[in-house]
Amino acid sequence: MQTPARLHLVLSALALATLVVTFPRPHGTGDADSSADKGEPALVMDAPLATHRIELLAMAFEAVSDMPDFPHIKNRSRIQERVVEACLELDQPQRALKYLEQIANWRRGAALAAYVTYQAEHGATVDLAPLLERAEVSIAELEREESQAWRRDRIRAGIACALHALGRPTEAAAYEAGLDPAEAASLAPLRAANATLEDFEAHLAAADEIALGGNYDQIRNALATCAQLYDRFWDERELRDRAAAKIKACWSTLPLQIRIELLMELARMSLEHGDQDEALDFVVEARAFLDAARWLPEHHVPLASRLAALRHGCGETAEARAEIEAEQTLYADSRETIVDIYRADALLPLAEAWVSMGDDVQALATWRLALDEGAHNPNSRPQAEDLVALCLSMAREGVEPDEEFRERAQEILGSLGDPW
């Protein structure tokens, strides 16, 4: 373990990018930076990103960071971590590093592990061990505080992912051992990514056993792994069919929403492999679950919107548009029955569904409605949380806000303050 002073120097070097750097290669193609070709240490830097998307990320982080430590440090840190995750999704690792350094509690350790994973997966050659050591410090602090075990396990799972990405599976196994099932779920893609046929059979057998005697988190974890196996063995029709069938055979104790989400994941994977027909089968099955039960509108609108976006991806554009329009009407008719803190959350997936349809005008109108709904609560904490979620939604989708939207968002941002 390096001394704190040494760790500070190393982190400063990373954050200020005084080392030779390389840019990520889009979709895994393109030439590496010449410094990497020469064997010099290289760190993956931020990819080019449209100015308005950078501004949305900055607004999101500013909005949440205005929350005072007391009594909001847990909420503030949780939402700051979401902004970091969005930065990594948009290939902005150095922006993510800058933001994660401002997280004041244990979530900084989890974010550091995610940053290391990103760097390792994208070809960084700089020694990233000091950052993992800092993540371990967060674990030690939690143990001294006798904090809830799931927080420690969240960081351990993140470190395990990073070690796998760094090609150190033996060390990763030590962090995976004894993880809480809910936290172990994050490792499902890793377990499946390099699975052999023997591993496949073992995972399916384990799913049967867990379905009989496991708890909710254990069953969900096992079925998430089966979904990843469906993707991993896509080219072997019999195996992928068995993985999908195992999910359906073992989900009887899971809520309908989880079943729908698993089916949506299978549909997404099918679309990524170019099979619209198979994806549509999953969408139709998921929609049947949705229609078979009564839902609060704040739950129905997001699920139906995501399903409509997938249906559009399957080629049923007219049907998808009709479903999205129906959800827009449902929201308008049910608005007064929805608690104000849930309104924006219901609208964001609806806006994203419009984007998937190529209708940015309708998407912006829906985001604008979400912006106003998020400002309805008199307290700043829910206002800030809704503003962050909206900014991240728009940043991910890449739709540029108009001037009126910017002014309204800045007005809300400037108004945040007591009472929180």
**Confidence at residue 59, expressed as pLDDT on a 0 to 100 scale:** 98
pLDDT at position 135, please?
96
Q: Is the pTM of this model over 0.75?
A: yes
pLDDT of amino acid 322: 98
pLDDT of residue 196: 93
Strand 21-22 with 43-44, pairing: parallel
Tell me how far apart the terminal alpha carbons of the chain are, to the nearest angstrom: 40
- Report d(CA 96, CA 112) in Å as an integer: 9
In angstroms, the CA 395 to CA 87 distance is 9
Res 189: pLDDT: 80
Does an H or E element contain 131, and which? helix 129-145
From first to last of its 420 residues, the chain has per-residue pLDDT tens of 333 333 333 333 333 333 333 333 333 333 334 454 556 778 999 999 999 999 999 999 999 998 999 999 999 999 999 999 999 999 999 999 999 999 999 999 999 999 999 999 999 999 999 999 999 999 999 988 877 899 999 999 999 999 999 999 999 999 999 998 878 878 888 888 889 999 999 999 999 999 998 889 889 989 999 999 999 999 999 999 999 999 999 999 999 999 999 999 999 999 999 999 999 999 999 999 999 999 999 999 999 999 999 999 999 999 999 999 999 999 999 999 999 999 999 999 999 999 999 999 999 999 999 999 999 999 999 999 999 999 999 999 999 999 999 999 999 999 999 999
The C-alpha angle 287, 288, 290, rounded to 5 degrees, equals 60
Tokens representing 234 are: 């896509």
* Helix or strand (DSSP H, E) at 43: strand 43-44
Q: Which of 200, 298, 203, 210 is nearest to 251 (CA)?
A: 210
pLDDT of residue 39: 65
- pLDDT, residue 37, reads 55
Contact 171, 204 (CB under 8 A): no
Q: By three-state DSSP, how is residue 123 classified?
A: coil
Task: Report yes or no: 98 and 146 within 8 Å, Cβ to Cβ.
Answer: no
User: Nearest 5 degrees, angle CA 138-CA 173-CA 141?
Assistant: 10
**What's the rounded Cα separation, in Å, for the pair 76 and 256?**
31
